[in-house]
Amino acid sequence: MRDLPLDKIDEADRQRVIEVLKHTSVYRRLPTQVMRCDPELFQFVIDHPEVMANIWQLLGIEDIQLHRTSPTTFDADDGEGTRGNVEVLHRTHDTCLVYAGGSYDGPLFTQPITGNCVLMLRTAYSREPDGYYYITTRLDVFVQLNHVGLDFLAKTFQPLVCRVADYNFVATCGFIETLSQTAEVNGPGLARLATRLETVAPQVRDEFILVTERVAARARERDRVARVEPPVRRAGYQEGQPRSR
């Protein structure tokens, strides 16, 4: 809780966040993830999550609906009973604080559930001697359920819900990593896919194409440098040794 940048948001938003923190039904720190990913593409996806949601739809991976309603707000529907409004309260290159409110109506519970949640994504970047960037992400989630009697049910179902949340976060980070690496090796193919995005603003689609082109250009330059200047290996690191993730 002390890590939340409450001093960076206005009083009304701060009170909404504090209300969730004071009445948290479920707290979860999701598994920390490390991705080999271009920082610019990662930042773009964090700033424009509707792009990734639309790509998932095109590829038949998920049917999540995410529609931007303002520069910092979205309407969200996961297609499985959860609907809500999402608002980015604070955003820097290494911190993203999000507030969301909504409802769930599905098989896990006998009646619709309403609630609010606060999410904080923290990010760190490191550049390896070979020129690749590795991005470490950590997500903390605070969930407040609005019905007092649901706290018991929430704790009963918490192991299941947390496993699903963990899996979704790991899968999402893995997809971002794949998206970045696809831009490196098949930029034109990714650009063609981007032209089919239909639920994002045209200027956002065009910006995404430009980002993928810059990612591909940096990858070509990195490969060129590697051919003439082999990267210096870290002490104690042997070629072929797997990296810790």
Per-residue pLDDT tens digits for 197-220: 999 999 999 999 999 999 999 999
3-state secondary structure of 168: helix
Q: What is the mean pLDDT of residues 162-188?
A: 93
Cα separation, 223 vs 49, in Å, equals 29
Q: Which domains does the chain have, with CATH numbers?
A: 6-223 (3.30.530.20)
CB atoms within 10 A of CB 44: 21
What pLDDT score was predicted for residue 155? 67
Instruction: Report whether pLDDT(243) > 90.
Output: no
What pLDDT score was predicted for residue 28? 93
Lowest pLDDT segment from 24-33, 73-82, 143-152, 169-178 = 143-152
DSSP letters of 217-245? Answer: HHHHHHHHHHHHSPPPPPTT--TTPPPP-
Cα separation, 180 vs 84, in Å, equals 29
Nearest alpha-carbon partner for 132 in 221, 239, 31: 221
What pLDDT score was predicted for residue 112? 82
Cα separation, 147 vs 58, in Å, equals 37
Query: What is the pTM (predicted TM-score) of this model?
Result: 0.86
What pLDDT score was predicted for residue 110? 74
Q: What is the mean pLDDT of residues 167-192?
A: 94
What pLDDT score was predicted for residue 139? 97
Helix H or strand E encompassing 115: strand 113-127
Cα separation, 87 vs 73, in Å, equals 4
CB atoms within 10 A of CB 105: 14
Cα separation, 28 vs 41, in Å, equals 27
Lowest pLDDT segment from 25-39, 55-69, 102-116, 209-223 = 102-116
Instruction: Report whether pLDDT(98) > 80.
Output: yes
What pLDDT score was predicted for residue 164? 86
Helices 49-59 and 202-228: crossing angle in degrees, nearest 10, is 90
Is the model more confident about 160 or about 86? 86
Instruction: Report whether pLDDT(34) > 80.
Output: yes
What pLDDT score was predicted for residue 209? 95
What pLDDT score was predicted for residue 149? 62
DSSP letters of 1-60? Answer: -TTS-GGGS-HHHHHHHHHHHHT-SEEEEPPPEEEE--HHHHHHHHH-HHHHHHHHHHHT
Per-residue pLDDT tens digits for 184-201: 999 899 999 999 999 999
3-state secondary structure of 157: helix
Structure tokens at 210: 């430009």
Instruction: Report whether pLDDT(223) > 70.
Output: yes
